[in-house]
Amino acid sequence: IARKMYVPIKVGASRSYGGRQQWFSKEIKETKDMKSYYTHCNGCGVIALSDIFLYFAMTLADGKNTRAGEMLDTHGNIHKEKYMAFVEEIRDQYATIFGSSGTFIWQLAHAINCYCKDNGIQKKARFEVGLSPLDLLKKMEKMLENNQPVILMIGQSWPAALSKLRKIGIPFFKQKKCINIGKSALKSAYAEYKMIEKDVYGHFVVVTGILIDEHPKWASQNIMLRISSWGEEYYISYAHYCQFIKNNSKPWLNGIISIE
C-alpha cells in the first residue's frame, strides 16, 4: 500500500500500526461496560473496519468528508482517545460484537457497504471464502496494487468445539532484517523473521503488503504477508496460512473481504 505506516494512531510520543483492541478495558467490575469487554476480547473485526475507514479518509478524495475524516487533525493524524471513540461509534452503528463469537466476515462486508453508502464513498465490498491459494493470493495482490488494504480472516481451528483445547493456529513473526528492497513495493530479496506469537486463530487482521523472499536456506520462494494486528506490524507465512486451512480448519472459515 502507499502509506508506509498504514494507519498510525498517536499514543503519547509513539505511533501504532493500526488500532489495538486491548486499549479497551476488560475490567467489567470497574467499568460496568460489557461492550468495552467484548471489544477488548473479541473486537478484532471492528478494529479492522475502523482502520479501513480511516485509510479511506487518508487516501481517497471522497473519503475526506466522512465520519472518519472528521476524526483526523489538521496534519491527518488521529489520537488514541479519538480513535477509541470512533471504534465505539463504528461498533454501535455498523458492526455489533456478538459476545464471545465476535463479528463475522459477512457482517464486516455488509458494514463496509453501509458505511460507504452513508458517507458517499464509491466502494463495494464482498466477502470471499473457500478460494484456492493461487486465487486468494492474486486477489490480495490486485487489491494492494490498487492501494487497498485487505481484511483477512484467520478462521477457527476445526472442530470448533475443540479449538481452545487444541490451540492450533498460525505463527506471527516480526521482521529482523530486510535488505535489497527492489523496485516493487511488494517484493524483498532477503528477510529474516522472529516468531512472536505461536498459534493465532479466530482472528481478523489487515494485510498491508506481500513480500516474496528468496533465501538461501529455502528451496523456493517464501511468501510473507505483512499485516496489522493489535497495533503492531507483523508478518505471517502464506504457506502456514494455507496449511492451516487444509489441515486444521475449513475453507469456509477463512477468506478475505474484497473491496473495489
pLDDT for the residue numbered 168 = 86
The answer to whether the peptide bond before residue 149 is cis (omega within 30 degrees of 0) is no
Regarding whether 143 and 112 lie in a shared domain, the answer is no
pLDDT for the residue numbered 74 = 85
pLDDT for the residue numbered 192 = 78
Q: Using 50, 70 and 90 to split pLDDT, how confident is the model at 75?
A: confident
Regarding whether 52 and 76 lie in a shared domain, the answer is yes
Task: Indicate whether 14 belongs to any domain.
Answer: yes
State the cell numbers at 81.
482517545
Q: Using 50, 70 and 90 to split pLDDT, how confident is the model at 100?
A: confident
Q: Using 50, 70 and 90 to split pLDDT, how confident is the model at 114?
A: very high
Residue with the larger pLDDT of the pair 158 and 104: 104
- Label residue 13 left, alpha or beta by phi (over 0 means left) and psi (-120 to 50 means alpha): alpha
Arithmetic mean of pLDDT, 60-83: 92
Would you say the pTM of this structure is higher than 0.85? yes
> Domains in the chain: how many in total?
2
Task: Indicate whether 128 belongs to any domain.
Answer: no
Arithmetic mean of pLDDT, 20-26: 93
Regarding whether 250 and 208 lie in a shared domain, the answer is yes
pLDDT for the residue numbered 185 = 42
Arithmetic mean of pLDDT, 15-32: 85
Regarding whether 201 and 84 lie in a shared domain, the answer is no
- How many whole angstroms separate alpha carbon 176 and alpha carbon 174? 6
Average pLDDT value for the chain: 89
Contact 135, 129 (CB under 8 A): no
Give 207-250 pLDDT, tens digit per residue. 999 998 765 555 456 899 999 999 999 999 999 999 999 999 99
**Residue 55: burial class (beta carbons within 10 Å; 0-12, 13-18, 19+):** buried
Contact 69, 55 (CB under 8 A): no
- Around Cβ 174, how many Cβ atoms within 10 Å? 14
Regarding whether 138 and 228 lie in a shared domain, the answer is yes
Task: Indicate whether 2 belongs to any domain.
Answer: no
Give 150-206 pLDDT, tens digit per residue. 999 999 887 765 556 567 899 999 987 655 444 444 445 446 788 999 899 999 999
Q: Which domain holds residue 69?
A: 8-123
pLDDT for the residue numbered 189 = 45
Give 27-46 pLDDT, tens digit per residue. 875 656 789 999 999 999 99
pLDDT for the residue numbered 181 = 46
Contacts for 214-220: CB closer than 8 Å, 24+ residues apart: 214/189, 214/190, 215/190, 215/191
Which secondary structure element, helix H or strand E, spans residue 48, and what is its range? helix 44-59
pLDDT for the residue numbered 77 = 87
Choose the final residue of a domain: 87, 105, 123: 123
pLDDT for the residue numbered 18 = 97
Task: Indicate whether 230 belongs to any domain.
Answer: yes
- How many whole angstroms separate alpha carbon 200 and alpha carbon 210? 19
Output the CA torsion 123→242→95→11 (10° steps). -90
